[in-house]
């Protein structure tokens, strides 16, 4: 007789989650885009929907700041008019710094930012150092192309 059947069930569930994460395929052309849902910088629900055609993801602070500057200059309507979502990965940033400095600064931008802070979420997402990854999606929500945008160049991301 098991002394702690709930503990065994919990360990089994954790093991299945770890196994499913390790078997996950990296995002690539043809993959379905994950339907990320979280909050924007104003703590309002936001995410990638079926209507989204472009997903811009910044993985590092430097390119993220440059992308925010570019997008802010384009105005609040630039992303929605292009069916685009901008995602900022702030994981790794200490919580106190994020809440005290990063999020208040992000609130000043005209465009919406999907703020993500989940360990391991972007481990299998393609990225290049110093650039923002740009996913182009087809009407079914699958990735049709993957590019890399350097916002320092002042060129359009899509």
Query: Where in 70-137 does DSSP place strands (E)?
Result: 84-89, 114-116, 132-137
Q: Do 55 and 137 contact (CB within 8 A), yes or no?
A: yes
6 pLDDT exceeds 50? no
Residue 54 is predicted with a pLDDT of: 98
Confidence class for position 108, pLDDT limits 50, 70, 90: very high
Q: What confidence category does residue 2 fall into, taking pLDDT thresholds of 50, 70 and 90?
A: very low
Q: Which domains does the chain have, with CATH numbers?
A: 39-153 (3.40.30.10)
Per the structure block, which two tokens stand in for 11? 């360990």
pLDDT band at residue 18 using 50, 70 and 90 as cut-offs? very low
pLDDT at 22 over 50: no
């Amino acid at each position: 007789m098991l002394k702690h059947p709930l503990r065994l069930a919990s360990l089994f569930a954790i093991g299945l989650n770890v196994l499913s994460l390790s078997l996950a395929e990296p995002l690539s052309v043809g993959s379905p885009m994950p339907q990320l849902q979280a909050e924007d910088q104003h703590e309002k629900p936001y995410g990638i929907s079926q209507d989204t055609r472009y997903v811009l993801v910044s993985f590092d602070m430097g390119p993220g700041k440059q992308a925010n500057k570019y997008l802010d200059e384009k105005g609040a309507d630039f992303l929605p008019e292009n069916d685009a979502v901008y995602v900022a990965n702030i994981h790794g940033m200490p919580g106190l710094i994020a809440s005290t400095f990063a999020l208040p600064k992000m609130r000043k931008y005209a465009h919406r930012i999907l703020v993500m802070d989940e360990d391991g979420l972007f481990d299998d997402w393609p990225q290049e150092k110093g650039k923002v990854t740009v996913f182009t999606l087809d009407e079914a929500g699958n990735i049709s192309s993957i590019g890399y945008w350097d916002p320092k160049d002042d060129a359009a991301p899509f």
